[in-house]
A and B are shown apart, each in its own frame.
Chain A
Amino acid sequence: MVSPTPPESTGGVASPQGSPRSIHDVVIRLAGNSQDGIQSVGGFLARLAGRSDQDIMTYMTIPSTISGGPSIFQVRMGTGDILSAGDRADMLVAFYQHSYDAHLSSLRPGGVLIYDSDHVKPDPADNRFTAVGVPITTGTVEAVGGTAKDKGKNIYTLGLIARIFDLDVGKLTALIKERFGGKNEDIVRNAMLAFDAGYAWPQNNLRDLFYRFSAIDRPNLSTGRPQVTLDGNSAIAYGLIAAGVRHGAGYPITPWSSIMETLRAELPKYGGLFVQCEDEIAAVSTALGFSYTGRLAITGSSGPGLSLKMEALGWAVMAEMPLIVVNVQRGGPSTGMPTNVEQSDLMQAIYGSHGDAPRVVLAPKNVEDCFYIAIEAARIAREYSTPVLILTDMGLSSRIEAFDEPDLPNLLVSPEPDLSERPTDFKPYPLDRVTRHAPAGARLASGKYPTVTGLEHDEMGHPTGSPKLHQQMTAKRREKLKALAAALPAPELTGDSTGEVLIVTWGSNWGPAREALVRIRKAGVKAGHMHLRHVHPLPNGLEQTFGRFEKVVVAELNDEGVYGFGQFAMMLRARYAMPRIVSVTKTDGLTFKVSEIVAGVAGHIENPALHASVGAASHSALAVPAA
């Protein structure tokens, strides 16, 4: 799903009045209350896009008040690869006055405002947008009738959108029937009534504002497998299942919980088990107990919960026990901004816990990568007998993307523990080899059974106070990570391989940075983008790439800290001692906008063309051409 030229912005092509105009992609934001079912509209569009070879990326905020309260869903759909959620919306659907008030500023000039004329009074003097009042509430009530009240507004809106963007009604109808089919027939019927009413409205009331996505252009659609649409947390859960992980334990916390919910429901089907524990400490402990029996296990949490796991993580490093720890980052510290995105757990993931406790930290770049990184994490955990942390974030966790279905037959890993008898020379902690534990249940030919331990130990697992052994064992635990670093593939590098600036990202900033790169190079700057999925240990040889650029700008979602650098930038500066490594950070709880990265980079280099391009407002592709 990597295309060499990511789309930079929507590019509409005007066409004669009446017939649909061709567009490349569109960003639609729906704003209402959380009980309005706005997320499900996004879900339908996502599934539709998945079935149509269009890409989709969604953006969602969950109100901290669990039910009721403002809720938005933003979807960007179009042809070809979509890398980020889109900075600003081309279309805003405002259900209420507060939705209008809060979100109008997210609309690009020339964009389309659709408001529920039953609830919203827009500013008549505002002529920056095309404003269309649609009686969404009364339209829904009239269409559905009976006691349903305005339930179904979301499906009515889906109908509207389907008509305006010429979406495949056959596929949408099938999706609606699949979604509601299990419930009673009235529900399917009501949904279809609402959909049809919404679909009919533009036909009878709009002369303009009809669009069609340009023909599909996916040169690298080569797998031949259909697209699937899912969120990042589901992708991690299914990736772990593919990786042969059958056991786990956790404690609820947003936004991690849905991983444990999925695994709790799924693993028993595979003969496995996920335990809900009394707290995060119990969860990591139980997971380690599973791993000890040869069944690589997963635990996970978000920020505060990860802190609770730190002591046991130290044990896992010392005892060299394989384990997967997923941390879905949110705004911190403490309860912080529990439903916002941040990348401020990096240092905790790499260095948290006491003592010298080297462990592996991986970060997925998008939803698809959540699946593959789970498989890689499991492989590394087993191969190097080590805990592996997966650092994902609030944005990825709930975002839905479409991608090619994984090649499951070739990816599936056996979950069977190796309980074969261990030979007489078996040692749990050999100094010259990577540890391979004899899980409980395996016979030892020597008749001498091993002890796994958090005390410093000799090669047989006996406690030792020997300074020499502590030094040797510490080195052993460090060297295996260095061996891993040497085996890692070179990181993804796009754009120029030498030049003025190299953007460096980790985690979910991959997409916006890729789009930012296109804009920056368009402004005439020689620039590249390096993305790191392996944040600890780092792959070897990065200094050579860094050395080919005048500035290395690390963009990440955390604070610049007391010393003026984000957490990853700090690490890179410490590792490579290159003053050219600088930082772009922010902590507003939202994912990077492409324009923010462009502006951040512009702040670090002298380039008038780039400076001029920053802040230049781009018009929406939906803009009605001047008459």
Chain B
Amino acid sequence: MSSAASVLPAPAPSSVTPVPVAPLSKKSLTADHPTWCPGCGDFAVLASFYRVLEKLQYPHEKIVTFAGIGCSSRFPYFVNTHGGHFIHGRSLPFAAGISLGSDDLHVFVFGGDGDGFSIGGNHLVHTARKNVRLTYVIMDNSVYGLTKKQTSPTSPVGFKTKTDPTGAIDQPINPMRTLLNSGATFVARTHATQVNHMVEMMLRAAKHDGFSVVEILSECVEFYEGAFDAAVPRKGGKWATIEEKKNDGTPEDALRHDPRDEVAAFKLALQPWPGVFGVFYENNERKTKNALEAELSAKARERTKGAGDLALLQATFAKLR
């Protein structure tokens, strides 16, 4: 964009002398005090996210935290990074604009099960299929929290809500199956009571080059208490993690899960409730939309021999004479 720059001066470089940048810490990442109900599972997700950012140490200004609408979607107010609060269900296409517009940003999107699988369901499918580079964390409480207990797309059959007083009758979505089917290139599942596991999953998702999704079962103590106890040992449940292949040639390794194996991932997704936790699927071969678009642009610029903006536009108008 050289010629355009010669027309209008680029913004003057900041006169502020750069201060040495302190490493990101929980303190520098903390923003508003969370408005969640005491005991809400989302607190643990927030605490884990601070730890993830502390580990990653990205430049502060390059981190973006965005969300839709819901209790969980309040997340960006509590994280001191660039970010925002968009409309219900549409945070993924918004975040796609951020990611595709500026490839050097690290984009994290947070939201609930209603935001992601119901009103935003179509966007989830298409962002996954396009493999836009960003990380999406779904805080699934199997209920509509913010609007006070209506049936959500992940509410199990029989769960009593204000919209299904005699119990939900519609078949819920299986998040892992939906994500695999849509073509997400990193699909993981974790639980808000398992902080270390949660940190590990988010960390791996952040490092994945593509559309990475982590579903976190995060209890709504207000409207769906005990929803995920079946996976909490302390409540008599079973915490079963996915053992990944180590490729060490041992006989037990043959039984371990290969995250590159989509069919095996589907099989894991079909396990009965509460199912297993860990990385279901990881595909590092498929190119991101970011990369594909950059290739298109590079090819186009090759054809125009890197002509500047003014020369390009003038050539177009010359053809219209």
Q: Which residues of A contact B (CB under 8 A)?
A: 47, 50-51, 226-230, 234, 238, 241-242, 244, 246-247, 249, 266, 268-273, 275, 277-279, 281-283, 285-293, 295, 297, 311-312, 314-315, 319, 405-406, 408-409, 412-416, 418-421, 423, 438-445, 447-455, 462-463
Contacts and interface: CB of A to CB of B under 8 A. Distances in A.
B11 interface: yes
B255 interface: no
Contacts of A269: 297, 300-301, 303-304, 307, 312
Given A286-B94, A289-B101, A408-B314, 16 more contacts: A50-B321, A227-B321, A229-B321, A238-B316, A247-B97, A269-B303, A270-B1, A273-B293, A275-B97, A281-B90, A288-B97, A289-B95, A290-B97, A414-B1, A439-B82, A442-B82
Interface of B: 1, 3-5, 7-14, 16, 18-19, 28, 31-32, 60-62, 64, 76-77, 80-87, 90-91, 93-102, 104-105, 122-123, 125-126, 293, 296-297, 299-301, 303-304, 307, 309-310, 312-314, 316-317, 320-321
B97 A285 contact: yes
Contacts of B301: 268-269, 271
A438 B84 CA distance: 12
B297 A271 contact: yes
B11 A420 contact: yes
B11 A268 contact: no
A453 B304 CA distance: 40
Contacts of A275: 96-97, 100
A414 B8 contact: yes
Contact of B317 (A405, A414, A440): A405
Contacts of B300: 268-269
B122 A278 contact: yes
Nearest to B88: A311
Contacts of A293: 97-98, 101-102, 105
B10 A450 contact: no
B313 A454 contact: no
A282 B31 CA distance: 29
Nearest to A242: B313
A273 B310 CA distance: 18
A527 B5 CA distance: 48
Contacts of A439: 82
Contact of A453 (B62, B85, B98): B85
Nearest to A275: B100
Contact of B64 (A247, A440, A463): A440
A412 B310 contact: yes
The 7 A-B pairs with the shortest beta carbon distances in the complex, nearest first, are: A289-B97, A282-B93, A414-B8, A285-B93, A452-B84, A421-B14, A268-B297
Nearest to A228: B320
B80 A418 contact: no
23 contacts: A50-B320, A238-B316, A241-B309, A272-B297, A273-B101, A278-B93, A278-B126, A282-B122, A282-B126, A287-B97, A289-B98, A297-B97, A406-B317, A408-B317, A409-B310, A414-B1, A414-B9, A416-B4, A440-B105, A442-B61, A443-B60, A448-B31, A455-B85
Contacts of A249: 93, 97
A292 B301 CA distance: 25
Contacts of B11: 416, 418-420
Given A287-B97, A288-B97, A270 B13 contact: no
Contacts of A452: 83-85
A312 B179 CA distance: 25
B1 A416 contact: yes
A156 B299 CA distance: 39
Given A51-B321, A415-B4, A420-B11, A312 B90 contact: yes
A351 to B, nearest CB: 19
A439 B310 CA distance: 26
A285 B321 contact: no
Given A285-B90, A420-B14, A412 B61 contact: no
A227 B317 CA distance: 9
A268 B104 contact: no
A441 B126 CA distance: 26
B310 A286 contact: no
Contacts of B95: 289
B65 to A, nearest CB: 9
Given A319-B84, A449-B81, A452-B84, A412 B317 contact: no
Nearest to A266: B316
- Give the interface centre of A443, A447, A451 by most chain B CB atoms within 10 Å: A451
Nearest to A455: B85
A411 to B, nearest CB: 9
A286 B1 contact: no
A238 B61 contact: no
A289 B16 contact: no
Contacts of A290: 97-98, 100-101
